[in-house]
Amino acid sequence: MMNPDTKSIRPIPYGRQHITQEDIDAVIETLQSDFLTQGPKVAEFEQAFANYVDAKYAVAVSNGTAALHLCTLALGVNEESRVITTPITFVASANCVRYCGGTVEFADIDPATALLNINKVRAMLESKPKGYYAGIIPVDFAGNPVNLEEFRKLADEFGCWIIEDACHAPGGYFIDSNGDKQLCGNGKYADLAIFSFHPVKHIATGEGGMITTNSDELYQELLKLRTHGITRDPQLLEENHGGWYMEMQELGYNYRIPDMLCALGVSQLQRADAGLARRKGIAKVYDEAFGNVTGIEVLGTSEEALSDNGSTGHAYHLYVIKVADRKGLYDFLREHNIFAQVHYIPAHTMPYYRNQSYKKGDFPEAEAYYSECLSLPMYPSLTAEEQEFVIRKVKEFVG
């Protein structure tokens, strides 16, 4: 038993991977096979993942940031492009625009959910001639799905593309205006969606990422860009000198992911539903514990993510609470071996983006959110006892 007055015996992080013997066996099997990279496991992982999120195509890559970069490349982002995203995200969501020389334009968040505020985006689009903005990158922050049906309508009105950053939301969904479930990354409303398999995310491969899409054209382009801009497809070659022949048709990268990691991904994906159910169970316990506590505000879920029968499309990568003395709580929890985390420092306040003309004060909702937010431990292997300990310590500090 854990003594309520002492610290937790093992450190409790905000997120961590869950590796089973089956996962280990799957990797070993690949190590003993003919292929360490570019073998059969890549396609197997892609197919399984496309099925999981209900998309037509999936392209596995070396990490989530590489996935974002390939998306901006495939969509033709260049020095003239202006792209709108949220300041409350991991910086990679914005950086992918900069990799192609484009300009990042932030729009403030909805304080209820910390998601990109569609009304702010609309106001920006309406203030400029059509074609001024190239695209929008909404983020399913914390696992809370963005209403992409609404974003699609807006994007179509102004000729913009959409990249859904779904790193936090594999298995998440929202209910569209027809009452249909729309899984995050299914490609119905966004042109492209991306995922990460960093160990704190739902599915871990160590490093790894995935792009999903329903577009044949973008799919072909992504395959080429992932491997140096090279193709061997006889249909696409300009010349053909024989069996060895390939063409580098444009400037691509090596953003491939090894077979060993895809074997781990395939194995992890088989437990994705169980992990998601456990995350929802943990969220429910936190909700009940903090629901009526003065001094603690639980970050809200988007309405479209709640179905009639009370189930939720929130994928709970993070469980975020807001408290006045956030630094005090963060330090207090650390003293007790609980490693809560802050997601995120607003991207526009980073020195790099301050040099791109942004400054503190530009996005008051994002900055107010940042001053109070704290992500509590949330991962499938968190025990009920550990969660009780976290809840007790949070209440002890706030109460």
Contact residues toward ligand PLP (CB under 6 A) are: 63-65, 89-90, 92-93, 139, 165, 167-168, 196, 198, 209
For residue 270, count CB atoms less than 10 angstroms from its CB and return exposed for 0-12, middle for 13-18, buried for 19 or more.
middle
Q: Work out how close the CB of 198 gets to ligand PLP at its nearest, in angstroms, rounded to a whole number.
A: 4
Q: Work out how close the CB of 195 gets to ligand PLP at its nearest, in angstroms, rounded to a whole number.
A: 8
**Considering beta carbons, is residue 95 or 231 the nearer one to ligand PLP?**
95
- Quote the tokens at residue 72: 């901006």
φ, ψ for residue 279 (rounded to 5)? -60, -45
For residue 121, count CB atoms less than 10 angstroms from its CB and return exposed for 0-12, middle for 13-18, buried for 19 or more.
buried
Q: By Cβ distance, which residue is nearest to ligand PLP?
A: 64
Q: Work out how close the CB of 308 gets to ligand PLP at its nearest, in angstroms, rounded to a whole number.
A: 29
Q: Work out how close the CB of 71 gets to ligand PLP at its nearest, in angstroms, rounded to a whole number.
A: 11
Cα gap 347→369, rounded to integer Å: 13
Q: Work out how close the CB of 257 gets to ligand PLP at its nearest, in angstroms, rounded to a whole number.
A: 10
Q: Work out how close the CB of 167 gets to ligand PLP at its nearest, in angstroms, rounded to a whole number.
A: 4
**Considering beta carbons, is residue 27 or 70 the nearer one to ligand PLP?**
70
For residue 386, count CB atoms less than 10 angstroms from its CB and return exposed for 0-12, middle for 13-18, buried for 19 or more.
middle
Q: Work out how close the CB of 328 gets to ligand PLP at its nearest, in angstroms, rounded to a whole number.
A: 26
**Considering beta carbons, is residue 98 or 168 the nearer one to ligand PLP?**
168
**Considering beta carbons, is residue 301 or 375 the nearer one to ligand PLP?**
375
Taking the CA atoms of 150, 194, 340 and 9 in sequence, report the sign of the dihedral they define.
positive
Going by their DSSP bridges, the two strands 161-165 and 135-137 should be labelled as parallel
Cα gap 263→34, rounded to integer Å: 13
For residue 182, count CB atoms less than 10 angstroms from its CB and return exposed for 0-12, middle for 13-18, buried for 19 or more.
buried
**Considering beta carbons, is residue 194 or 394 the nearer one to ligand PLP?**
194
For residue 384, count CB atoms less than 10 angstroms from its CB and return exposed for 0-12, middle for 13-18, buried for 19 or more.
exposed
For residue 215, count CB atoms less than 10 angstroms from its CB and return exposed for 0-12, middle for 13-18, buried for 19 or more.
middle
Supply the DSSP symbol for 115: S
Q: Work out how close the CB of 105 gets to ligand PLP at its nearest, in angstroms, rounded to a whole number.
A: 18
**Considering beta carbons, is residue 261 or 296 the nearer one to ligand PLP?**
261
**Considering beta carbons, is residue 89 or 387 the nearer one to ligand PLP?**
89
**Considering beta carbons, is residue 200 or 394 the nearer one to ligand PLP?**
200
Maximum Cα–Cα distance for the chain, whole Å?
Answer: 76
Q: Work out how close the CB of 193 gets to ligand PLP at its nearest, in angstroms, rounded to a whole number.
A: 11
**Considering beta carbons, is residue 90 or 158 the nearer one to ligand PLP?**
90
Q: Are 150 and 141 in contact (CB under 8 A)?
A: no
> Residue 116 forms beta bridges with which residues?
109
